[in-house]
Chains A and B, each alone.
Chain A
Amino acid sequence: AQSVTQLDSHVSVSEGTPVLLRCNYSSSYSPSLFWYVQHPNKGLQLLLKYTSAATLVKGINGFEAEFKKSETSFHLTKPSAHMSDAAEYFCVVAYSGNTGKLIFGQGTTLQVKP
């Protein structure tokens, strides 16, 4: 069965410093993986996706993630945090089979300090 674990419920960084949000997945096959962001009182926005192509995936707003099969990880990074990056981030794995269902991690709250 598929599952996804976000290792940090809350991450705090200073503006201009790197961001690392950690995600591990469990899957019996090579999964599709996504990172979504949710700003306060806003809808969900796709940051990036991995669907078995290049293992280093570049997304919007300077974010990127690397798919590491040996570590079953899909960590999200950004070289330099901006105040506008403060939000809730969700790591998401696609369910196996042809149902199309997505499984959400518990979320990581990113705080960016001036």
Chain B
Amino acid sequence: SAVISQKPSRDICQRGTSLTIQCQVDSQVTMMFWYRQQPGQSLTLIATANQGSEATYESGFVIDKFPISRPNLTFSTLTVSNMSPEDSSIYLCSVRAGLNTEAFFGQGTRLTVV
């Protein structure tokens, strides 16, 4: 299993500003992902955080809006840039140890943009 710590747990931000969310894992993991869960919705994959290289973004998500860093196998950050109220969501970090293993999730960051 993996224990994931996400910071901050919640924040209220002004539109036009940026917020960086941190994800710390208690063990080295090969696969790390960032998801968004809009109010009352399911989880949507934003990107795969690749260690030492640029993240792989899903359709509809771009690096300028959601820059991601992953300097090592236990840590990643997601920045939500130039925020608007539509960015109000829960953002979750997730890790998997291998292809036949389950995913573990952080508690999420609840972001409200006003």
Residue among A92, A98, A101, A107 facing the most chain B CB atoms (10 A cut-off): A101
Whether A100 lies near B96 (C-beta < 8 A) is: yes
Classify chain A: how many residues form its interface, as a range.
Answer: 20 to 34
Shortest beta-carbon distance, B49 to chain A, in Å?
A: 11
Whether A102 lies near B42 (C-beta < 8 A) is: no
Does B73 interact with chain A (Cβ within 8 Å)?
no
Whether A34 lies near B48 (C-beta < 8 A) is: no
Does B66 interact with chain A (Cβ within 8 Å)?
no
Whether A43 lies near B106 (C-beta < 8 A) is: yes
Interface SS of B by simple majority: strand
Contacts A32-B99, A98-B99; A104 near B42 (Cβ below 8 A): yes
Contacts of A52 in B (CB 8 A): 100
Contacts A99-B48, A105-B42, A107-B42; A44 near B105 (Cβ below 8 A): yes
Contacts A101-B33, A106-B42, A107-B42; A34 near B102 (Cβ below 8 A): yes
Whether A94 lies near B99 (C-beta < 8 A) is: yes
Residue among A43, A46, A52, A103 facing the most chain B CB atoms (10 A cut-off): A43
Whether A43 lies near B105 (C-beta < 8 A) is: yes
Does A67 interact with chain B (Cβ within 8 Å)?
no
Contacts of B48 in A (CB 8 A): 99-101
A85-114 vs B, CB cutoff 8 Å, 1 = contact: the mask equals 000001010100011111111110000000
Contacts of A102 in B (CB 8 A): 33, 45, 94, 96, 103
Contacts of A107 in B (CB 8 A): 41-42
Contacts A100-B31, A102-B45, A104-B42; A46 near B92 (Cβ below 8 A): no
Does B43 interact with chain A (Cβ within 8 Å)?
yes
Nearest opposing residue in chain B for A95, CB measure: B45
Partner of B102, one of A46, A90, A99, A106: A46
Partner of B107, one of A43, A51, A90: A43
Contacts of B30 in A (CB 8 A): 100
5 contacts between A and B (CB under 8 A): A46-B102, A100-B98, A101-B33, A102-B103, A105-B42
